Amino acid sequence: MPDGFIPPHGGYANLRSYQKAEIVFDATMYFCKRFFDKRDRTADQMIQAARSGKQNIAEGSQVSGTSKEMEIKLTNVARASLEELLAESRNGIRTTPMRNVCANSTACPMRHTSTFARASNTKIPKFQPT
């Protein structure tokens, strides 16, 4: 039996999903600062979506001790935010000079850094409800 009334929760920094979301956030910040004007709405949307994805994983982990329903809802919000980031990234690449650089993925400037390579080489298992 657990020591307290509320079961253990939190520890989001050890979750692979949080670690990957943090790398995605860092990559998004780098990408936006390098290729967009700081007042560009697309860059702002991308940064906010990346931040939301990361933060909702953390919040879902924290609330998991008291509400599995809220944990699932926050996880779904994180997933939707990261999907929004993907769509905004595609829009940004398609509508900026970056489209010529990333048309050939081996020439994309972020592809060869070890942080991004490590994240992209790790397979994330699909969720299978029981």
- Could you read off the pLDDT of 30-66 as tens digits, one per residue? 988 888 888 888 889 999 999 999 999 999 999 888 8
With beta carbons less than 8 A apart as the criterion, state whether 89 and 27 touch.
Answer: no
> Is 25 a residue whose pLDDT tops 90?
yes
pLDDT in tens, 4-19: 666 677 788 888 999 9
Count of domains for the chain: 1
Q: Is residue 107 part of a domain?
A: yes
- Domain range for 112 is 12-120
Residue 89 lies in a domain: yes
Q: What angle do CA 107, 113, 117 make, to 5 degrees?
A: 90
CATH number of the domain bearing residue 35: 1.20.1440
